[in-house]
């Protein structure tokens, strides 16, 4: 039988602490909310009442339920008020010495059977527990922000936490309507260990001026379906908090350079640029604490003037290829009003592409997203060909052939001879160096990467990849074309993985390493990232969809270019690919899909 918790204490009433108070009080549990001073206590009370008032205003909480909730909370200054509670959760800043002092005092104040819990997101629960005489009753209960909304709780046991305490806390999480994942005491636990390596990498990308803050954030939101871009998320978390978490994980987690804080983070913290709470971080906000971004000196100029900056006029577009990506790109251009020349290797392939485009457009009509007249007009704009010579008068060529450098180089050499001067030559490669393709021509200034995402008619993102030889005019033309297609074009340099894959796949690789180390299960890791970070899919779900062979190939490319030990492909990923477990397409990857 699980222990019945009738009263809990919460130490620290910042955003997280006040949210934890609300979670317990919402679920009928009496709460003693403790702060260090009267002023801090009143700020905590205001945070709690503000949150519950907003819930009432949005119709998510009845006024009577709010009043009942608030009546369950007793506010007090000092830890002595916690003498009779069944459980205490500490939610003070991430400083080990501070937490140890609080736990030593809680050990003195609280009744012998009380469970002492920390909400730490990165510090060692074990090191906190040894400040007490009851380390077997100390546990980590890591809520995610905002605690009343986020479903995940990481339950962190140390090597001496009793099994009864773990079971009691797991039952409590269920009572609170939370999904818990129980794990051992390791730096970053699940979610932060995976999240902060990715965030740190994004800051590094920005620091090196590889891409703008807006383009990095747009790429990850639109390319991966994430709720926030990484730099906006850093501002929300707070750069000082992020620095402490990264520094702790680096020191405790084997000194993996993926977690060594990028120097820019420490510089910004020193300068007081802490994110939303200070009114400025990677972005500038209306006022401290506000989520409203306002323009600053880094804000891009208006799209219209940027697109007009030397962009060439594009009326006729050639698309080379017959696969899924080529088919989608043909449809995108035709629907946007461009005349399209589709070139494939033979009439049979052209017929298949025609049928695929027609089927897709018909689905648009059935779903009410396209009129029959628009469908017919789009099909009427497409010319079908099996010879590259028919590209002699186009203004833009988009190559979407097999992802082999020799094939692409041979194609671009042919296009160089056939196409008129001034044509923009674009490759859709997702992993190969664009400069290698460009140098197969005598006009590398006219070559650019246009990396569409699959399925092209639906996905709103295009990565515009400029090499060191790409002209500003060519980049401006690519941006204008993306805007005309209704896509968001993000500009980046010619580095392996561009923006999305360079940030996404090391995160996926880290998840595989976590599974490989038997730290957690694939299900719990997927739960942690979906429920704790709001990701649309967990890493193992996503790997099985993408294909483990594709993922391994991309990770190898990243490792070969960056030579960063943390980017080395996880051996487990290599073994699964060798065994033919490629994900959904083979019926088995990290999960068995044949039984579903």
- The per-residue pLDDT for range 456-482, each reduced to its tens digit, is 999 999 999 999 999 999 999 999 999
pLDDT range class, residue 434, cuts 50, 70, 90: very high
Nearest to 83 by CA among 111, 119, 121, 104: 111
Q: Can you give the pLDDT at residue 308?
A: 55
Dihedral sign for Cα 477, 480, 482, 488, please.
Answer: positive
Q: What global pTM score does this model have?
A: 0.89
Q: Does pLDDT of 307 surpass 90?
A: no
Share above pLDDT 70 across residues of the chain, in percent, rounded to a whole number: 98
Overall average pLDDT of the 53-76 stretch: 93
Q: Can you give the pLDDT at residue 420?
A: 95
Q: Which residues are catalytic?
A: 121, 142, 154, 192
Q: Helix, strand, coil proportions of the chain in percent (round to 5)?
A: 50, 15, 35
Nearest-angstrom CA–CA distance, 401 and 261: 40
Q: Can you give the pLDDT at residue 305?
A: 53
Overall average pLDDT of the 532-552 stretch: 93
Q: Can you give the pLDDT at residue 135?
A: 96
- The structure tokens 């485009």 sit at 357
Q: Does pLDDT of 306 surpass 50?
A: no
Out of 37-41, 148-152, 253-257, least confident range:
253-257
Q: Can you give the pLDDT at residue 528?
A: 93
62 Cβ contact list (under 8 Å, min separation 6): 56
Label residue 474 exposed, middle or buried (CB < 10 Å: 0-12, 13-18, 19+). buried
Under 8 Å between Cβ of 249 and 193: yes
Tokens of 165: 């305490």
Which of 153-162, 287-296, 298-307 has the largest mean confidence? 153-162
Q: Which domains does the chain have, with CATH numbers?
A: 7-185 (3.40.50.720), 191-278 (1.10.1040.10), 316-494 (3.40.50.720), 500-586 (1.10.1040.10)
Overall average pLDDT of the 270-288 stretch: 95
Q: Does pLDDT of 105 surpass 60?
A: yes
Nearest-angstrom CA–CA distance, 419 and 394: 7
Q: Please indicate whether residue 254 or residue 506 has the higher confidence score (pLDDT).
A: 506
Q: Can you give the pLDDT at residue 596?
A: 61
| Model pLDDT for residues 221-258, shown as the tens digit of each residue | 999 999 999 999 999 999 999 999 999 889 886 778 88
Overall average pLDDT of the 294-307 stretch: 73
Label residue 3 exposed, middle or buried (CB < 10 Å: 0-12, 13-18, 19+). middle
| pLDDT, averaged across the chain | 93
565 Cβ contact list (under 8 Å, min separation 6): 257
Q: Can you give the pLDDT at residue 431?
A: 81
CA 171 from centroid of its chain's CA atoms: 30
Q: Three-state secondary structure along 258-283? A: HHCCCHHHHHHHHCCCCEHHHCECCC
């Amino acid at each position: 039988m699980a222990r019945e918790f009738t009263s809990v204490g919460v130490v620290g009433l910042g955003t997280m602490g006040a949210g934890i108070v609300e979670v317990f009080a919402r679920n009928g549990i009496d709460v003693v909310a403790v702060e260090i001073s009267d002023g801090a206590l009143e700020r905590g009370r205001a945070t709690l009442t503000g949150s519950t008032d907003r819930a009432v205003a949005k119709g998510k909480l009845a006024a009577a339920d709010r009043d009942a909730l608030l009546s369950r909370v007793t506010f007090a200054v000092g830890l002595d008020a916690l003498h009779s509670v069944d459980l205490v959760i500490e939610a003070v800043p991430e400083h080990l010495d501070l937490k140890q002092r609080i736990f030593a005092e809680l050990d003195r104040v609280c009744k012998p059977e009380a469970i002492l819990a920390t909400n730490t997101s990165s510090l060692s629960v074990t090191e906190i527990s040894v400040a007490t005489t009851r380390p077997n009753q100390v546990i980590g209960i890591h809520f995610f922000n905002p605690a009343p909304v986020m479903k995940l709780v990481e339950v962190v046991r140390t090597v001496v936490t009793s099994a009864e305490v773990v079971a009691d806390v797991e039952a409590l999480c269920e009572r609170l309507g939370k999904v818990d994942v129980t794990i051992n005491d390791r730096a970053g636990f699940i979610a932060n260990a995976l999240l902060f390596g990715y965030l740190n990498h994004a800051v590094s990308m920005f620091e090196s001026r590889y891409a703008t803050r807006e383009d990095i954030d747009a790429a990850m939101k639109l390319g991966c379906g994430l709720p926030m871009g990484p730099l906006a998320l850093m501002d929300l978390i707070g750069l000082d908090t992020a620095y402490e978490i990264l520094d702790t994980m680096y020191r405790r987690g084997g000194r993996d350079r993926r977690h060594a804080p990028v120097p820019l983070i420490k510089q910004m913290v020193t300068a007081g640029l802490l994110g939303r709470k200070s009114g400025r971080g990677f972005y500038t906000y209306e006022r401290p604490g506000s989520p409203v971004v306002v323009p600053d000196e880094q804000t891009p100029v208006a799209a219209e003037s940027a697109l007009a900056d030397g962009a060439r006029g594009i009326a006729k577009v050639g698309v080379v290829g017959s696969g899924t990506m080529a088919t989608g790109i043909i449809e995108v251009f035709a629907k946007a009003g461009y005349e399209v020349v589709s070139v494939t290797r033979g009439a049979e392939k052209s017929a298949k592409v025609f049928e695929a485009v027609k089927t897709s457009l018909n689905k648009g009509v059935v779903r009410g997203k396209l009129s029959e007249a628009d469908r017919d007009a789009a099909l009427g704009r497409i010319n079908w060909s099996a010879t590259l010579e028919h590209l002699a008068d186009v203004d833009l060529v988009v190559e979407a052939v097999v992802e082999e450098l020799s094939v692409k180089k041979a194609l671009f050499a042919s296009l160089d001879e056939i196409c008129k001067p001034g044509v923009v030559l674009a490759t859709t490669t997702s992993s190969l160096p664009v400069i290698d393709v460009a140098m197969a021509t005598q006009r590398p200034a006219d070559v650019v990467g246009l990396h569409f995402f699959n399925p092209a008619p639906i996905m709103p993102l295009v990565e515009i990849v400029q090499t060191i030889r790409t002209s500003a005019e060519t980049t401006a033309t690519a941006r204008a074309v993306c805007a005309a297609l209704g896509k968001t074009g993000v500009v980046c340099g010619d580095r392996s993985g561009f923006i999305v894959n360079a940030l996404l796949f090391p995160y996926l690789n880290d998840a595989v390493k976590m599974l490989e180390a038997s730290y957690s299960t694939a299900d719990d890791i997927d739960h942690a990232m979906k429920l704790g970070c709001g990701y649309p899919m967990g890493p193992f779900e996503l790997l099985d969809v993408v294909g483990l062979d594709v993922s391994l190939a991309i990770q190898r490319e990243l490792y070969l270019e960056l030579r960063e030990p943390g980017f080395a492909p996880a051996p487990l990923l290599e073994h699964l690919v060798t065994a033919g477990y490629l994900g959904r397409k083979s019926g088995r990857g990290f999960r068995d899909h044949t039984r579903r």
